[in-house]
Amino acid sequence: MPFHWVPWSVQQFQVFLMIAVRVGPLLFMMPLLSSRNVPMLVKVGLTLLVSLILLPVVEIDSSRCPSDLYALLFFLVSEMIIGFIAGLSVKLIFAALQLAGELAGFQMGFSMANVVDPQSGIDSPLMGQFQYL
């Protein structure tokens, strides 16, 4: 499907909307972008940019595009749920890495060596933050 800037069909706009709704929660839950230090406008802009980049790559059969509003809303909600599940799984992987670092730091005797986590503002073990990076 070739990408055109101005003359978007309804099908292309629906595909763009589905991509943005799936990519949005995934990007919002990423460890670097989930911080409060990143402005919401940057997150939304990055979501739209990634969606525009992925639009020419995604191919969809015209018979599978929703024809009415209820079907489109159903597809958008399902895409959002898939994005949330993917974002949650990435967040769980990073949390497991942080926990592994905390356990390694505790075993090495760094249980009293804490640093202030700039994202949450609480003390966290040094090795947990080191392996989280």
CB 51 within 8 A of CB 18: no
Kindly state whether residue 40 falls inside one of the protein's structural domains. Answer: yes
Answer yes or no: is 107 within a domain: yes
Task: Count Cβ atoms below 10 Å from residue 23 Cβ, excluding itself.
Answer: 22
Domain assignment of residue 91, yes or no = yes
* 103 found inside a domain: yes
- Mean pLDDT along residues 39-44: 90
Q: Which residue, among 25, 20, 28, has the nearest Cα to 52 in the 3D structure?
A: 20
Q: Is residue 88 part of a domain?
A: yes
pLDDT at position 63: 72
pLDDT at position 101: 75
Contact assessment for residue 128 and residue 102, using Cβ atoms and an 8 Å cutoff: yes
Encode pLDDT of 49-69 as tens digits: 999 999 888 887 767 778 888
Is 79 part of any domain?
A: yes
**DSSP one-letter code for 124:** E
In a domain, 62, yes or no: yes
- Domain membership of residue 1 (yes or no) is no
Total structural domains within the chain:
1
Collapsed DSSP state (helix, strand, coil) of residue 95: helix
Domain ranges, residue 102: 10-132
